[in-house]
Structure 1
Amino acid sequence: MRLRRLALPARTVRLRFTALYGVLFLLSGAALLVITNLVSLGSTRISEVAPTGDLLAQNSSLAAAHERISLLEGQLAGARETQSHQLLVGSAVALAVMALVSIVLGRIIAGRVLRPLRTITAATRRISADNLHERLAVPGPADEVKDLADTIDELLERLESSFAAQRRFVANASHELRTPLATMRASLDVAVAKPEPVPPQTVALADRLRTELDQVDRLLEGFLVLARTQHGALSDRARISLGHTVSAALEARAADIVAKGLTVHSDDLSDSAWTRGSRTLLSRMADNVIDNAITHNHEGGWIRVAATLDGESALLVVETGGRVLDQEQVARLAQPFQRLGADRTGSGDGSGLGLSIVAAIASAHGGGLDLQARPEGGLRVAITLPPVAARAGVPA
């Protein structure tokens, strides 16, 4: 029974309107046919008695008149029966045609009535956290539909203000916190650098505090990048080669790769995958992906990198080996402060913002991030971006 219910069509407003208008049209057509039949039957009864007086006047013999009348009455009864049958068949055909026409007209009228609502729904679906500045701006008279569209526009305006205030707060707080962090780091350096001998416990505590301060500094930097990425406009847009960008990220981390004994497989880092965007943000995106691949990898592991064109997208894929991961947990890594556990935290920043920054940068450029747990173990990070054609002489 449950499967049968799931197979039924959804009871949409248009379907209900179509049924309502169809029934109204069908009832109107049926009423018109009934009235037509009543009028036709009435006129037939009148025509039955009309010839009688004329026939009696034209025949000189009463017997001949009766015979003539009986003959005409039989012919008239047959004609009336034939007419009634034809009228019944015609009415049935007309009713069937009217039922079909009623459904078609009901659907058309329901579609015209609901067209403004469909326009509002489609426009609302296009608006997300990245384009809250857009408005429905539905034209037309001041009716219920216009009031609904104006109400949604007012809601979007309040949401835009709220999101902007949140992003400004994150950016301003991150900037303001950098000053006390720098002061604390300088105070530690001054305390450790005094001429008199410093107790080993103090040196160890200072090193631990520096590590924590660096961690907080990286966390604030991540907040700043997220706030800038989600704010919207990208000022330094240019043609970027994904292959060159990820190659630069690998070269910058060559020492870390060697220290961990990792093997890098570069399937395809040619100039085929180009996109348009912010050089700074796309470089940060590649850095975060490579950092994640190095940090959350085991000693002597491997990294596979590819930058290609995949249909309508420029594709950057970074894969790593390791233990088998849970796909549900992997899917949450694109959200801030999500991790897979202490065994994958490693010695990196461990802030839980790395892949969320990657997702935000990809989204700001019109792309997306796909995280998949490899069946044989490890993680596959795939970034899709809108492609552009590479031009000769354009630097990466």
Structure 2
Amino acid sequence: MRRSLATRLFRNLFAVSLVTALLSIGAIEVFYEDMEDTILSLELTEEQAYFRKHIQGNSVQQWDTARLKAIFLPAGAPEDALPDYLKGKPAPYSGELELTEATYLVLVEPVDNPPGHLYLSQDISIMEGQELLSQLTVLGVLLGMALIGFVLSRLSARRLVHPLRKLTQQIQATEPAKTMRRLETEYQDTEFADIAGAFNRFLDALEAFVDREKSFVKLASHELRTPLAVMSGALEIIEKRNALSEADQRTLARIRRAANDMQADVNVLLKLARGHVDSDEPEPVSLARITRDTMADLENSQSDQPDRLRFDAAGDQTLMTDPPLLRMLIRNLLQNALKHTRGPVDIELLADGLRITDYGRGLPRDVSERLENNISRRERRMQESNFGLLLVQLICERQDWQLDIVGSGPGGTTMDVHFGADQLTPARK
């Protein structure tokens, strides 16, 4: 699943700010605890030195202040004089005791003169309460820093991604045309300006390439049409002489038909090469008639094709289209089918199109895969190496028809062409 770059930047920035805050608060807490322990230890050590000097005689002695209790217990004396929380403590001993009513910091040290143990306990409940308050304060600071990090991360991510979104929108808004709009290059960040500049240079090269292709098409149009016009004129002169035998006249008619078909094919190829829909009005074309005519042309032009084309025309449809385009489509499909089998080729009219079936070895695997991929993805990629199938694909794209490979394998190949519903009239009875 794709994620937004802004979301990723926000999460990364917020994570960095949150980790930084946690590390900072943790370091402060550790420093505070260490400082507290050091202060209390030093304070008790000083108090211990003070009470050592005030021990008099070999008897139990006790000193009390508001938060400090000091007890000297001579060697061998019972612990009855000690509070319960001090009984059984070894010497030396230092630690913190958390009781139900209070928290004490305890220090027990042996004394040599007179022999015994000096017990010190300091009530640090007030300090513990202050520590809890400080911890709550630290937690509040952490939450505040997290909130500030959240807001700053969100704003920073939006600010960083804004020029990228602007650049993306401009690229997406660029539509194929004769002259395409260039991207703005006034960006504060050098990287975005470089991307926009590179895209503009790509558009410059693309427009130059298209202009060269259009110039080539214009020149090809002239170079192809001129010899065809000469051939047609020569045929007219021969026909006007009326000096040919009946067999020669039939041959001349075939040449005339081939020249006319070639002229129509040149026009079709030029239309496809230009890649735009011309302003010619479509004409009503009988699918059955144009199929039969195309079959007859193929059988007359190729002596090895008699009776191999079988046409099942139970009904007929009238298609509004460009006749040369449709004729070229049918002829190339039939030629491709005849090329892949030595047996018959069946042509069948469907309710919305045309089906052509051969019984050969099937299309080559690479050709079949390329056609199926292009058809399923609706891609306009002219990568087909078979010129006839390439023309079929281009014509279907041009006319918005659907080309389907129903099946292709050792048993043969079946291809369907489905025409647009708005281009067909109800089948004739």
TM-score (norm 2): 0.53
Q: Secondary structure at the match of 1:235?
A: coil
Equivalent residue runs for 1:282-297 within 5 Å: 282-289=325-332, 291-292=334-335, 295-296=338-339
- Give, in whole Å, the separation in 2 of the partners of 1:297 and 1:28: 69
Matched, 1:227 2:270: yes
Matched, 1:177 2:227: yes
Aligned to 1:361: 395
Aligned to 2:280: 236
- Give, in whole Å, the separation in 2 of the partners of 1:224 and 1:123: 34
- Give, in whole Å, the separation in 1 of the partners of 2:254 and 2:348: 31
Instruction: Structure 1: give runs of 5+ residues left out of the alignment.
Output: 1-8, 50-61, 196-202, 310-314, 340-351
Q: Given that residues 293 and 320 in structure 1 are in contact (C-alpha distance below 8 angstroms), is that contact kept between their aligned partners in structure 2?
A: no
Task: Letter of the 1:303 partner, please give it.
Answer: D
TM-score (norm 1): 0.57
CA-to-partner distance for each residue in 1:292-316, whole Å, 9 max, x for gaps? Answer: 377547676241424445xxxxx54
Aligned to 1:199: none
Equivalent residue runs for 1:247-262 within 5 Å: 247-253=288-294, 255=296, 259-262=306-309
Aligned to 2:362: 324
User: Which of 15, 38, 41 matches 1:26?
Assistant: 15
Aligned to 2:66: 65
Larger Cα-atom Rg: 2
Q: Relative to 1, partners in 2 of residues 1:389 and 1:224: Cα closer, same or farther, differing over 3 Å?
A: closer
- Give, in whole Å, the separation in 1 of the partners of 2:149 and 2:347: 65
Aligned to 2:311: 264
Equivalent residue runs for 1:60-209 within 5 Å: 63-67=64-68, 74-83=124-133, 86=136, 112-123=162-173, 127=176, 132-133=177-178, 135-138=180-183, 142-143=186-187, 144=193, 146-182=196-232
Q: Given that residues 341 and 361 in structure 2 are in contact (C-alpha distance below 8 angstroms), is that contact kept between their aligned partners in structure 1?
A: no
Q: Relative to 1, partners in 2 of residues 1:135 and 1:317: Cα closer, same or farther, differing over 3 Å?
A: farther
Q: Relative to 1, partners in 2 of residues 1:215 and 1:281: Cα closer, same or farther, differing over 3 Å?
A: closer
Q: Relative to 1, partners in 2 of residues 1:22 and 1:292: Cα closer, same or farther, differing over 3 Å?
A: same
Task: Give the superposition deviation at 1:133.
Answer: 2.4
Figure out how many residues of one structure are paired with residues of the other and give that number: 330
Task: Give the superposition deviation at 1:79.
Answer: 2.1
Task: Give the superposition deviation at 1:279.
Answer: 2.7
CA RMSD of aligned residues (A): 5.7
Instruction: Structure 2: give runs of 5+ residues left out of the alignment.
Output: 41-62, 70-103, 106-120, 188-192, 300-304, 372-380
- Give, in whole Å, the separation in 1 of the partners of 2:262 and 2:369: 22
Task: Give the superposition deviation at 1:388.
Answer: 2.6
Q: Which has the larger share of helix? A: 1
Aligned to 1:279: 322
Matched, 1:379 2:413: yes
Task: Give the superposition deviation at 1:317.
Answer: 3.5
Task: Letter of the 1:157 partner, please give it.
Answer: E
CA-to-partner distance for each residue in 1:246-290, whole Å, 9 max, x for gaps? Answer: 22222324657794154323588567xx7xx74334433454256
RCO comparison, higher one (Cα < 8 Å, 6+):
1
Q: Secondary structure at the match of 1:65?
A: coil
Q: Relative to 1, partners in 2 of residues 1:225 and 1:185: Cα closer, same or farther, differing over 3 Å?
A: same
Taking only the aligned residue pairs, the percentage that are identical comes to: 15
Task: Letter of the 2:361 partner, please give it.
Answer: R
CA-to-partner distance for each residue in 1:321-378, whole Å, 9 max, x for gaps? Answer: 3333323245679979955xxxxxxxxxxxx5x4433322222234454557622433
- Give, in whole Å, the separation in 2 of the partners of 1:212 and 1:239: 26
Q: Relative to 1, partners in 2 of residues 1:245 and 1:84: Cα closer, same or farther, differing over 3 Å?
A: farther
